[in-house]
Chain A
Amino acid sequence: MIAFFVNFPLFSIVLCLLCAVLCALLKGKAARIVSLSLCGVVAVLAFCVLVYGLQTGAATEYPMGHYPHPWGNELRFGIAEPLVALVFAVVMLLCLIGGKQQLDVDLEPGKRNLYYVMCDLVLVSLLALAYTNDVFTGYVFIEICTIASCGLLMIRQIGRTTLAATRYMIFSLIGSGLFLLGVILLYGVTGQLLMPSLKAAIAALWEGGQYRTALLSAMTLMTVGLAIKSGLFPFHLWMPDTYAYSTPASAGILSGLVSKGYSFLLIKLVFGVFGTDVFYGSGVSNVLYVFGALGIIVGSISAAREKDVFRMIAFSSAAQIGYLYFGIGLTPALGMLAAIFHLLTHAVTKPLLFLAAGQLGEAAGGRLRHTWRGAAHRNRTAGLMFSLGAFSMIGIPLTMGFVSKYRFALAAFERPTLLVVTLIVLAVSTVLNAMYFMRVIIGIYTPVPERRTRMTLREQRPFAVSSLLLALLNLSAGVAAQPLVLLLERGLSLL
């Protein structure tokens, strides 16, 4: 039985593609049901693959179409890949459920099904990015993801989203273009596209000192391309409008999942293509570390200066992406572990914040911080969930955010030369985080004399259910983080 699970990654990818086609033909409501069930099924399949990975305790290479090794296309999965895919599918499901109210308003009646087509496409590209063992397949799905994400963004047709989508498109295409150039360079030098063969070829070339410049450029191009796409400083400027003006479900998916898909691909590339020796020996990692640190600080400062709450949360995403690259750049073992843990933390937390902010924004009737005064009294659930998400972002104990910070601090000791800098960056960003999030929390809990109608639980059932589940995920992983950390440790060793 369990042996059959080996086919599930392929099944889930094909299933997503089929559903995308199907959704294009269906009416809005049916398309929604199909997409929601798809996310559920994909989550179950990913869970089965995870079980398979744990059972075998090794990474599985899955050739497609029975072509022998250097020619065929392959999937590869151990423990980290299905775990990430599982989280992606679950969070996407919860985003779509939780953002239902705004989706009903923001989607034009005739075009509803198209939104779900885009969702299915985003999901398939995320799965493919997680499972693929071939850099060119990676590139193809990066492009699919870009186009589909633009769709998710554009579906809410106000002027600002069009502008944001254009900007997003430009940044994204630059990113994927750079990535493609990197792939071409690597192919030119090594003649390989499959990750294991590439890794062997690169290691041999690096050892012999051949094609240093080409290899370095390829590595830099691919890293920078992915960094631009996930929004690393100084390429984070597409973020605020993209996240802040899209409908909350899209904002959750884009900030929580899409940017994480690219980062996860980079982590896979570091282990599976460049090899940690080459990557960390070449100094590219240090560049990531520096820009990660700058991203953390600049993102936090921008967030603190922002008056529009949605843009504030978006800038905070820029800071969190900074954390990811900061960890990747720090060290291959603990730093990577911290980064990938933070990836999951942020994937669970940011959608919660965007969904809750969507509800609060509606209760407040505005986007600016000062209009939010007392909003939590009009919508208690949303207020509570927003506070919880904010606590996790700040890193209050018992939330996942705290464990993230703790892992980063542990990682800092692996590299004593950077210890002080790392700790200072952590401390400064935490204080800034606390400052701008607490300001909003106090604002929304400040009572205002006028009594507007209060949103009851019943009126927002979809949001309540999904945000509660996201919060539970966050808290349970924060209270008992050890199993997750062990899982990720094993997963990293198999990458």
Chain B
Amino acid sequence: MNQVLLLSIVLLPLLGGVLLALMRRAEKRAADTAFLSVLALEAAAVTAYLCLPDATVRLFSMTDALTVSLASDGISRVFLAVGAYGFLLSGVYATRYMARGERQASFYGWMLFSLGALCGMDLSQNLITMYLFFEAATLLSMPLVLHDRTEESIRAALKYLFYSIAGAFLALLAIFVLGRFTTTLDFAAGGTLTADAAAHRTLLEIVVFLGVIGFGAKAGLYPLHGWLPTAHPVAPAPASAALSGIIAKAGVLAILRLVFYIVGADFLRGTWVQIAWMSLALLTVFMGSMMAYREDLFKKRLAYSSVSQISYVLVGLFTLTPSGVTGGILHVIFHACIKICLFLVAGSVIVNLEKTRVSDLVGVGKQMPITLFSFTIASLGLIGIPPASGFVSKWYLALGALDTGIPVLNWLVPIVLLVSALLTAGYLLPITIRGFFPGKDFSAPPKTDEGTAVMWLPIAILGAASLLLGVCSGPLVDWIFTLVAPLV
């Protein structure tokens, strides 16, 4: 029973994608219905799964050493839940957002394919399976970036593809080498390195370093981050939300699995690799915030913000301490919630007010009060003002960094996090301030224009969730600490 459910979580979106591919000529209403029912079913399946015990499904073997099999554990539950619920809310929103354009069915189809690939990644039992779905996630989410088929979007998609594939092959290099120096490529908390691995420490350190850089391409980690601010904003807003909030986290998951389940934290603790990773992630945090602060295009500003925020997560993972990793995983959840909300707001602004630049956003609060109010709540979460969710995750991130005992970095991390939080406030709050307090020159519009409930409700839900998850984070934090305990 469990196995059937496990399999159906992966297959349902993929089959749904095929269904929508076949419905290309169908009316939009029919496509909407099919899309939403698949997403709802998927969310229901994931919800059911959260409460059920672990299971394993062995699918097939390419060769004896390369098996493709699915299994679930606590980490996969976290990522599955983020993915399924995030896609459901963006999906509901998309039915309205996409109403003006054409080729909705194909857009929905690619959304579902991406979700299927992500679920496959979440449930992978070994590195090979995960790599397979990682590649699939790249290829299947690329059409989302391509959706508008403009010159700009094609360029962006190419850039996305090039960075992702280059990254994936760096990771493949690590997988090949690790295949030789591990007892098994199946994930096991604490790593599976063989006894003679220590003799080849330098080689292993280099390839693992490169592997993380490679997987980090998906998460926008410096130096393979360049595609993210180009590709994410080009997609339609619900897809940008999914890309930034959820699909980019595939890189985080891949790094998590590689570092903690194959190599093992003990092997890396205190090495140059850890220091280099932390420095790169910190650099990305700071640089992303800086770029976001200077950017005027709304969606692009949010994309830069994603670059910065996802690297918060990575900083947490790279501390290799219980608090740091917990903070990172918490930030995965919170950032998904917040960033989806922010991108959907940007979409609403585009659809209802036809404005794409931040500098044009004056008096939005008068026209779209609920939307902008949710935006503000979510922004507070991203900045990390207590009791909003971002505060909790950043708290543990800072604790984790202080625990590392690495000179300089252990106090530099909290400082950079603080500076970046200030910058975050700097690039998000002016939108709120000028939205609600446009000044004397602004003539209020005759009536509010939020779009239908299909548009503002997901935004409001996500905004509220970003606050509530922070206020009632106690049980969540405890649960994640128990998940992380065997890893570090």
**What is A's interface to B at a CB cutoff of 8 Å?**
394-398, 402-403, 405-406, 409-410, 412-413, 419-420, 423, 426-427, 430-431, 434-435, 438-439, 442, 446-447, 478-482, 485
Contacts and interface: CB of A to CB of B under 8 A. Distances in A.
Contacts of B128: 397
Contact of B63 (A419, A439, A442, A485): A485
Contacts of B442: none
Contact of B162 (A402, A406, A438): A438
A434 B165 contact: yes
Nearest first, the 9 A-B pairs at minimum CB distance are: A409-B176, A397-B132, A434-B165, A482-B63, A430-B169, A413-B180, A481-B63, A431-B166, A427-B173
> Considering residues B62, B158, B161, B203, which has the most beta carbons from chain A within 10 angstroms of its beta carbon?
B62
A479 B135 contact: no
Contacts of A479: 60, 62
Interface in B149-178: 149, 154, 157-158, 161-162, 165-166, 169-170, 172-173, 176-177
> Considering residues B128, B139, B176, B203, which has the most beta carbons from chain A within 10 angstroms of its beta carbon?
B176
B196 interface: no
Given A409-B177, A480-B62, A482-B62, 19 more contacts: A397-B135, A398-B62, A403-B62, A409-B176, A420-B203, A423-B173, A426-B173, A427-B170, A427-B172, A430-B169, A431-B165, A431-B166, A434-B161, A434-B162, A434-B169, A442-B146, A446-B149, A480-B61, A481-B66
A398 B61 CA distance: 10
Given A397-B132, A398-B132, A447-B149, A439 B158 contact: yes
B354 interface: no
Contact of A397 (B131, B158, B162): B131
Chain A interface SS verdict (over half): helix
Nearest to B134: A397
Interface string B54-86: 000000111110100000000000000000000
A395 B131 CA distance: 12
Interface residues of B, number: 30
Contact of A419 (B139, B149, B172, B203): B203
A430 B169 CA distance: 7
A170 to B, nearest CB: 38
Contacts of B132: 397-398
A434 B166 contact: yes
B62 A481 contact: yes
A253 to B, nearest CB: 29
Contacts of A485: 63
A162 B128 CA distance: 48
B161 A438 contact: yes
A406 B158 contact: no
Contacts of A396: 135, 139
Contact of A431 (B157, B158, B169): B169
A403 B173 contact: no
17 contacts: A395-B172, A396-B135, A398-B62, A405-B172, A406-B66, A409-B176, A410-B179, A427-B173, A430-B172, A431-B165, A434-B165, A434-B169, A435-B165, A438-B158, A442-B161, A446-B154, A447-B149
A487 to B, nearest CB: 12
A395 B154 CA distance: 23
Contact of B176 (A420, A423, A435, A447): A423
A140 B131 CA distance: 48
Contacts of B162: 434-435, 438
Interface in B166-201: 166, 169-170, 172-173, 176-177, 179-180
A396 B139 CA distance: 10
A401 B372 CA distance: 51
B60 A480 contact: yes
B182 to A, nearest CB: 13
A391 to B, nearest CB: 8
Contacts of A413: 180
Nearest to A443: B154
Contacts of B172: 395, 405, 427, 430
Contacts of A394: 165
B168 to A, nearest CB: 9
Nearest to B63: A482
A396 B133 CA distance: 11
A152 B389 CA distance: 70
A397 B176 CA distance: 13
B127 to A, nearest CB: 11
Contacts of A427: 169-170, 172-173
Contacts of B66: 403, 406, 481
Contacts of B166: 431, 434
B207 to A, nearest CB: 8
Contacts of B157: 442
B62 A442 contact: no
Contact of B177 (A402, A423, A446, A478): A423
Nearest to B155: A442
Nearest to A477: B62
Contacts of B180: 410, 413
A235 to B, nearest CB: 28
Contacts of A426: 173
A482 B179 CA distance: 16
Nearest to B157: A442
Contacts of A434: 161-162, 165-166, 169
A446 B143 CA distance: 11
A409 B170 CA distance: 13
A57 B273 CA distance: 50
B62 A478 contact: yes
B136 to A, nearest CB: 8
A160 B293 CA distance: 58
A446 B154 CA distance: 8
Contacts of A430: 169, 172
> Considering residues B157, B161, B172, B173, which has the most beta carbons from chain A within 10 angstroms of its beta carbon?
B172
Nearest to A426: B173
A444 B128 CA distance: 30
A478 B170 CA distance: 21
A226 B149 CA distance: 47
Contacts of B60: 479-480
Contacts of B135: 396-397
A482 B165 CA distance: 26
A449 to B, nearest CB: 10
A434 B142 CA distance: 14
B61 A482 contact: yes
B102 to A, nearest CB: 11
A481 B67 CA distance: 11
A299 B131 CA distance: 27
Contacts of A398: 62, 132
Interface string B108-147: 0000000000000000000010011001000100000010
Interface in B21-77: 60-64, 66
A427 B210 CA distance: 11
B420 to A, nearest CB: 32
A403 B177 contact: no
> Considering residues A396, A397, A426, A485, which has the most beta carbons from chain B within 10 angstroms of its beta carbon?
A397
Contacts of A431: 165-166, 169
A400 to B, nearest CB: 10
B144 to A, nearest CB: 14
Contacts of B179: 409-410
Nearest to B176: A409
Contacts of A481: 62-63, 66
B61 A406 contact: no
B441 to A, nearest CB: 43
Contacts of B139: 396
Contacts of A420: 203
Nearest to A407: B63
A403 B63 CA distance: 9
